[in-house]
Amino acid sequence: MSFPQQCVLIGAGNMAEALVAGMLKAELVHPEQIFAADIQPNRLTYLQDRYRIKVGRSNGEAAGWGQVLILSVEPQVLDEVLREIARSIKQDTLIISVAAGYPIVRVAGHLKPGQRIIRAMPNTPSSVLEGVTALSCGAGVSEEDQRTARAIFGSIGKVVEVEERLMDAVTGLSGSGPAYVYLMIEALADGGVKAGLSRPVAELLAIQTTLGAARMVIESGEHPAQLKNRVASPGGTTIAGLHKLEEGRLRATLMAAVETATKRSQELGTAPEK
């Protein structure tokens, strides 16, 4: 399987829009090669007007249309959606699910034997093409299928491949991680305001500092600890601030947040079928 080809998205929410925008910007497909289905007519009108893609309210009609089918609905409704579309899916269709905590075996249980399934966990910065997606492949997925999935999700950010048993950890780290970072940005800005800065200036300083620090890690290739040590001069302001963070157990708290979110993802994955 290679691009260009027809691609279907069941569910037309924010992640689906990110994928549409990314694929079009990367020129993987033309607008007429994308079909998005959703129950919200206003959402479909918006996507059609903005991206000129094909849209419809019938999941069954959409499911039988493309060579790649992306399931972009909440995990709580995916059982129902799969029951609705199972008969419409062609045997040679590549299925990609982005439902958090929903294992490949559960998707396969609704479909014909031998259906090729890839599980994906993108995160919300994908909407600005700065996301990261973890992929896990089911039985029978070919190298060409993997290249197809990597191309799709590579259009909205970075891509890694992991064993499916680690997908809950991915959810706890990169899936939930943006919220942890937003909280830290907010707290840094509040600290600036407490120290006397205006709110707009404090927020800009916090945002750009976070962005710049992340870019430094990416482009330097150095370990974060090395970069941290470079900023923290002996007896200086940074080491004093780091000491206070250690007193507040920042690192332990962040590690616990990832662990707790991972366990919650595992719970969602073992929830009874609806």
Domains and CATH numbers, the chain: 7-168 (3.40.50.720), 175-269 (1.10.3730.10)
> So what's the pLDDT on residue 172?
94
| Contacts for 58-61: CB closer than 8 Å, 24+ residues apart | 59/10, 59/84, 59/85, 60/84, 60/85, 60/87, 60/88, 61/37, 61/88
Q: What is the arithmetic mean of pLDDT over 161-171?
A: 95
Residue of 75 and 259 predicted with greater confidence: 259
Residue 136 β-bridge partners: 119
Average pLDDT value over all residues in the chain: 94
In angstroms, the first-to-last Cα distance of the chain is 33
Q: In the structure encoding, which two tokens stand for residue 137, read together?
A: 């492949």
pLDDT, tens digit, for every residue of 209-223? 999 999 999 999 999
> So what's the pLDDT on residue 4?
52
Contact (CB, 8 A) for 115 and 105: no
Q: How far does CA 142 lie from the centroid of its chain?
A: 22
Q: In the structure encoding, which two tokens stand for residue 132, read together?
A: 């990261």
Neighbours of 214 (CB within 10 A): 13
> 3-state SS of 221-259?
CCCHHHHHHHHCCCCCHHHHHHHHHHHCCHHHHHHHHHH
Contact (CB, 8 A) for 67 and 92: yes
Contact (CB, 8 A) for 140 and 116: yes
CA-nearest of 34, 43, 117 to 82 is 117
Instruction: Please give the sequence-ordered ranges of beta strands (E in DSSP) within the chain, or none if there are none.
Output: 7-10, 34-37, 54-56, 68-71, 94-97, 116-121, 131-137, 157-161
pLDDT, tens digit, for every residue of 121-148? 999 999 999 999 999 999 999 999 999 9
Highest mean pLDDT among 2-6, 231-235, 267-271 belongs to 231-235
Instruction: Please give the sequence-ordered ranges of beta strands (E in DSSP) within 67-205, or none if there are none.
Output: 68-71, 94-97, 116-121, 131-137, 157-161
User: What is the C-alpha to C-alpha distance for residues 202 and 190, in angstroms, rounded to an integer?
Assistant: 7
Q: What is the arithmetic mean of pLDDT over 97-101?
A: 89
Q: In the structure encoding, which two tokens stand for residue 210, read together?
A: 């976070």
> So what's the pLDDT on residue 2?
53
